[in-house]
Chain A
Amino acid sequence: MNALEVGDIAFAYGERRALDGVSFTAAQGRFTALLGPNGAGKSTLIALLTRLYDLQQGQIRIAGFDLRETPRKALARLGVVFQQSTLDLDLTVEQNLRYHAALHGMPRIVANERIELELQRQQLGERRRNKVRELNGGHRRRVEIARALLHRPELLLLDEASAGLDPASRQALNQHVRALCRDETMSVLWTTHLLDEVQADDDLLVLNRGRLVARGRAAELATEGEDLAASFARLTGNDTHGAGSSLGHRPAVLDGTPGAIEPPHEAVAPASNPGAGSARASLESGRRSS
């Protein structure tokens, strides 16, 4: 069973279509990166996945539960970190976590245990009585992650979670979430517009102008002689890296067919796969150029 299944969803703000026939899956225990330039429709997609907006077309299933038909079961399995901080700045770290536990109807004894565990896991134990206002951006993000994990979700959704952080904090956050994904076998959907937050082994989705223009392993996305930055520029028509801007030129992994929920691609072991190794090199060069 996939952690997330999105089938042919569409959404329009009046006349303007923000999403058009988007379909993809996020496999259990995998780090899935959703990459797209600003205005690609990522935030609208997140709003739909979190039920902030009502679906106008299509289907979303979280851990097998349909978001429209069984929203309570679906949302109980979803942890979210929004792009904009949603912490209460005037409350302490612990009070923010307690509030979230209450919103999930967690009994006090269970909440106490889990808050303690998450504070330790996110290395926030010493800051539990600090008001969120007193924390730096990186720590605030950790609090949000601790909060998102409190109810033991099967899918962790991070919407441009690194926005506003300095490069070191950004990298640390990215690595931290990857460690969670690896050690806890948690499924992660990480949305970003920054190429250096994507690694070769990630499952990658590229969203542009409301349409999914590519999906597959990040290592496979770059075609011969291209790095990820060039591929991304080509796919999104943002020709800032000297790559072709035609959206019609698609890599082998591209499947623009809306409607189908596809199984995840087979995993590629980067260490033993020469192709992945070269892709990693491409990614590194993509990082430098971005």
Chain B
Amino acid sequence: MIIYWECLRGIVLREWLRFVQQRSRFFSALVRPLLWLVVFAAGFRAALGIAIIEPYDTYITYETYIVPGLACMILLFNGMQGSLSMVYDREMGSMRVLLTSPLPRSFLLASKLVATALISLLQVYAFLAIAWFYGVQPPPLGLIVALPALLLVALLLSALGLLLSNGIRQLENFAGVMNFVIFPMFFLSSALYPLWKMREASEWLYWICALNPFTHAVELVRHALYLRLAPTALMVCIGLTLLFSLLAVLSFNPQHAALRRSA
């Protein structure tokens, strides 16, 4: 058992060391949601009134509404960043070091997921701290209760990133992930607008948003931050995390890339 623990610790430590050495990555991860919070939300505050909806007990500002969505945006971008990092490691060869470890490949990949998720959580809490001083203040206990929810969402999105990385042939193809995964997932969710607003605009758009896994991730975190449980969102997130992780591990095979290249 200690062998597995040492391995997990080593993989997390490596991700941490890489993270602290790439300060620009940390700041860019924070700048993106802060821009949305400070600039975008300020502009839309007047235009978008938010009625009393679950889990809030009263009327809220638009900034308060979008903070959980922006926290999940950090996790989404980090999950995809993890995917980019996997493709980069694969192309540069450093993935080989991981794969020639005697420990089971599924455990090594799961450790990578956990490491990516933990690093993402640090960025989310840095963002929540800044948002707190900006005036978006969920209950203090909510910040603790939200931790497992955020961890679950981080694992879900990291697993999705890993799954996608298995299908990406080259680093250059990563732009496609941005266009066809990150943006649609984020905009077609409840991160920026409540679902009832979407329904007012378009019924089919509403259904797309309602079925989007990212909507469930955002709602899970939103409810947890305000000390509520969203059972459906929780079940969906757990189920999809397991599914994506399983598919990612099953479809992970460095040999596939070589066979594809030679085809």
Q: Which residues of B contact A75 (CB under 8 A)?
A: 100-102
B1-9, B56-64, B124-132, B208-216: which lies at the A interface?
Answer: B1-9
Flag whether B13 is at the interface (Cβ < 8 A).
Answer: yes
Tell whether, in the assembled complex, residue B259 and residue A14 are in contact, meaning their CB atoms are under 8 Å apart.
yes
Tell whether, in the assembled complex, residue B102 and residue A71 are in contact, meaning their CB atoms are under 8 Å apart. yes
Question: In the complex, what's the smallest C-beta–C-beta distance from B11 to chain A, in angstroms?
Answer: 7
Please indicate the chain A residues that have their CB under 8 angstroms from the CB of B94 in the complex: 86-88
Which of B14-22, B144-152, B182-190 lies on the face that meets chain A?
Answer: B14-22
Q: Does B103 sit at the interface, judged by CB under 8 A?
A: yes
Chain B stretch 94-138: residues in CB contact (< 8 A) with chain A: 94, 96-104, 108
Residue in B21, B103, B254 whose beta carbon sits within 8 Å of that of A53 in the complex: B254
Q: Interface readout for B33-72 with A: 1 if CB under 8 Å, 0 if not? A: 0000000000000000000000000000000000000000
Minimum C-beta distance from B189 to chain A (A): 34
**Binary interface encoding of chain B residues 187-229 relative to chain A, with 1 for a CB under 8 A from any of its CBs, else 0:** 0000000000000000000000000000000000000000000
> Which listed residue, B4, B17, B18, B100, touches A51 by the CB 8 Å rule?
B100
Residues of A within 8 A of B13 (CB): 98-99, 102
Please measure, in the bound complex, the distance between the C-alpha atom of A53 and the C-alpha atom of B101, giving whole angstroms: 14
Task: Decide yes or no whether B262 CB sits under 8 A from chain A.
Answer: yes
The distance in angstroms between the C-alpha atoms of A84 and B97, with both chains bound, is 11
Chain A residues contacting B98 (CB-CB under 8 Å) are 103
Cα–Cα distance between A248 and B143 once the two chains are bound (Å): 75
Instruction: State which size class the interface on B falls in.
Output: 20 to 34
CA separation between A103 and B56, bound complex, in Å?
A: 46
Q: Which of A122-151 contact B (CB under 8 A)?
A: none
Residues of B within 8 A of A98 (CB): 10, 13
Given A86-B96, A91-B17, A104–B101 Cβ distance below 8 Å?
yes
Supposing A52-B254, A75-B101, A78-B100 touch, asked if A13 and B259 sit within 8 A by C-beta, the answer is yes
Question: What is the total of A-B residue contacts with beta carbons within 8 Å?
Answer: 101
Q: In the bound complex, do residue B7 and residue A105 qualify as a contact, i.e. CB atoms below 8 Å apart?
A: yes
Interface hits, A182-225 → B, CB 8 Å: none
Interface contact A52-B18, CB-CB below 8 Å: no
A50 at the B interface (CB under 8 A): yes
- Flag whether A245 is at the interface (Cβ < 8 A): no
Q: Is the CB of B97 within 8 A of A86?
A: yes
A41 CB to nearest B CB, Å: 13
Assembly CA distance A82 to B21 (angstroms):
25
Question: Is B28 positioned at the interface, with any CB of A under 8 Å from its CB?
Answer: no
Residue of B nearest to A83 (CB): B93
| A76 adjacent to B255 (CB under 8 Å) | no
In the complex, the answer to whether A107 meets B102 with C-beta atoms within 8 Å is: no
* CB neighbours of A86 from chain B (8 A): 93-94, 96-97
